[in-house]
Amino acid sequence: KIESVNVLFIIQNLLLVAVIFMYFFIPMWPMTLNRINSLISPNLFNFNLKWYFILSVCIAILLIPVGLMGTNLPLLFSYLKQRNQYLAKTVGHLYSVNSLGGFLGAFLGGYYLLKWVSLAVAFKIYIILIAITLIFTALLYNKSHVRRRLTFAVVIFVTSLFFSLYSPPWSASDFTPGAFLSVAKGADASSYWQWYKQFRTKLLKNIDFIYSQSDPNTWTVVDKSKIDNAKTLYVNGKPDASTVKDAHVRAMNMLLPLSLAKNVDDVFIVGLGASLSTGIATKFSEVKSVDVAELSQGVIESMPIFNTESFNVLERQDKFNLFQTDAYRKLKSTDKMYNIIVSEPSNLWVTGVDLLFTLEFLQEAKNHLKPGGVYAQWFPLFDMDEDTFRMILANFNKVFPWVTVWATSHYTVNILAGNERLQPSVEQLKKRFLEQQDVYEKFQLNDYQTILGLQALPEGTTKGLTLDVKSYHSIEWPKLEFAANKALFLGQKVDLNIFLKSKIIKPLPVKQSTFRYLYEDLTESLSEKFYLQTLKRTGGPNNLEFINKRMVYFYNNAYKNPKVKINNLIKSALDYFIAGQKPIDLNIEQLDKSLKIIDLFKLAMTMHLPVNIKNLHVLLPENCGQQKNCYLLKRYITAHIFASEVSFDKNLSEHDKLQIEEKFKYLMPN
């Protein structure tokens, strides 16, 4: 109950002070949330605790300004009641005005205004509007007090106007790069705040901000390194593209489907990013049109900054169309069909990105693929756990008949999917490579055959990995964003080789042909460059040369010792093969260097196939003769068969076991 308008006037003054305080405090939010993150140890039991803590801090920060805003309506009711107003009619009018104001405030002030001004400028406009409400509140006083209160309100308004015009704007450096990238490990500073300041100063002195633009959805920033002139695109503080660090990975997302698809006339790209995919696609003469769906106006306007690194894409504006909308809405609103659809989103824990992996979106993409079309999806193995990776593969397998995984770096892959199995044409592949050889070679693809060598998992293996997955990610039941956030917090990642070792341990009910790699369909012989380049990309942390030497050592020593059981011997060798952590050494100065490279390549490929005697047996060459490059492949396959089938398959007869053992002895080189 209030006896006068004084309480309402005081509340508006307090609200103005609180909002001005918030203006200066908001740039400190990243540091505050980073401090919370550093307080909580990253383990499974603390994941929920972390978010409860963040929620509590946010409530505490917003409690005063939001609480003061919420008092306005009940205070007005009480004030009008004291004025003996006709409550039924007055309350109805008041609710109507409040509802209209809430709608217009959210629609105009919270969205459309941000199309024209930055977030900081919009915040200053809100401060001025609150100061204006002080003037209206002052007019409610009786004649004996109205002049003094109105004078005070006008002074406050002028002060707020002066503050809005001359106070420092929010700097991109306060929010970019995002504070979540900073981890205080082994810091020498006496306090966290001192460390954070030192860390940010050191980080920011090596970069120049060359672009900053906010819109209703994002704050887009581009910086340029003073060290190597690399440009980095940030969206809401998170790096989404770099002209140096991840250019290769982003390029593969477009080069793979462009190289393999039968026809490439029409291309659809989900997300513009630094426009590299658009630049690559428009360079190919076979590509007639490229449609790009990008939600952020800031990202679209930053396109000229990356023009040089995107192969001067702006010189080919007649070949691409930009649509400022989300990809799902764009695909649902068009009947146009595409030969290639490429999805290159941000990290999976970013709000909204998980939509691109739902069953509904994948189905929409499939519905817009022409016959023989390819859907390409970038997928990170970092900030990821094995069960979530299998769930996403299960989503793809549920929608697409053909799904394969391609290695683009040690911890990123591309998922290629389509309505039918690709049938790569050597002539077509060679033609596209020669036409755009400068593009391929810029990203270390020095031979057209090496493109096929990036395939890590054939379709049979991707299906086998998801046979027991019963849970899917959908719009109705979203799971990915939560799982990705948890993996980010725990620092999880999927090592493809170790992951396969633990999962592919039983026969898979799929056709043998689905275990073939696309490179096996080539009618021409593979060059040494093919094996060499592929091993550099797919070798990963597994030291294949090391295990080659190890298995020779086992043969020359342990195998000839009758006290050593063969199955234990082979399992030990496989453990060395899978768990070796030294980088692969391809500079082998031996006469049979070429053959050794081929051996290593075949080892790398076969380790991604299921362990099943019926499936693997057909991979054994019919007749090696004295060709050394057959032995290592045979030895590894047989070792897999022996270690898995003999040791663990109780249904295998003694006769079969003896046959396998004899086969193993026969295959060992002299």
Mind listing the domains of the chain with CATH numbers? 6-170 (no CATH), 174-240 (no CATH), 253-513 (3.40.50.150), 539-667 (no CATH)
The pairing of strands 412-418 and 338-343 is unpaired
Long-range interactions of 140-146: CB distance < 8 A, separation 24+: 140/5, 140/8, 140/79, 141/5, 141/9
Longest dimension (CA), the chain: 113
Classify residue 170 by its DSSP letter.
P
Task: Compute the C-alpha angle 130/135/138, nearest 5°.
Answer: 125
Q: Is 171 strand, coil or helix?
A: coil
Instruction: Calculate the CA 109 to chain-centre distance.
Output: 31
Tally of CA atoms within 13 A in the half-sphere of 522 that contains its CB? 21
- Amino acid 481: pLDDT: 87
Classify residue 4 by its DSSP letter.
S
CA–CA dist 140, 150 (Å, integer): 10
Q: Is 68 strand, coil or helix?
A: helix
The amino acid sitting at 11 is I
Residue whose entry in the numeric block shows the structure tokens 């057909």: 618
CA–CA dist 542, 579 (Å, integer): 7
- Amino acid 559: pLDDT: 41
Instruction: Calculate the CA 9 to chain-centre distance.
Output: 50
Considering only CA atoms, which of 292, 295, 297 is closest in space to residue 280? 292
CA–CA dist 90, 426 (Å, integer): 80
CA–CA dist 452, 457 (Å, integer): 12
- Amino acid 529: pLDDT: 67
Length of the chain: 670
Residue 244: partners with Cβ closer than 8 Å, 6 or more residues away: 225, 228, 230
Question: pLDDT per residue over 581-607, tens digit each?
Answer: 333 343 333 334 445 445 444 544 544
Residue 654: partners with Cβ closer than 8 Å, 6 or more residues away: none
Question: pLDDT per residue over 220-255, tens digit each?
Answer: 999 999 988 999 999 998 899 999 888 988 999 999
CA–CA dist 160, 109 (Å, integer): 18
- Amino acid 18: pLDDT: 93
Contact 384, 435 (CB under 8 A): no
Residue whose entry in the numeric block shows the structure tokens 């090696």: 624
CA–CA dist 470, 394 (Å, integer): 8
Token representation of residue 523: 């009618």
CA–CA dist 121, 132 (Å, integer): 17
Residue 410: partners with Cβ closer than 8 Å, 6 or more residues away: 540, 541
- Amino acid 502: pLDDT: 57
Q: Is 403 strand, coil or helix?
A: strand
Contact 572, 547 (CB under 8 A): no
Spans of the chain below 70 pLDDT: 1-4, 84-87, 181-189, 497-498, 500-516, 528-529, 531-670
CA distances from 628 to 534, 535, 551, 601 (A): 20, 19, 15, 14
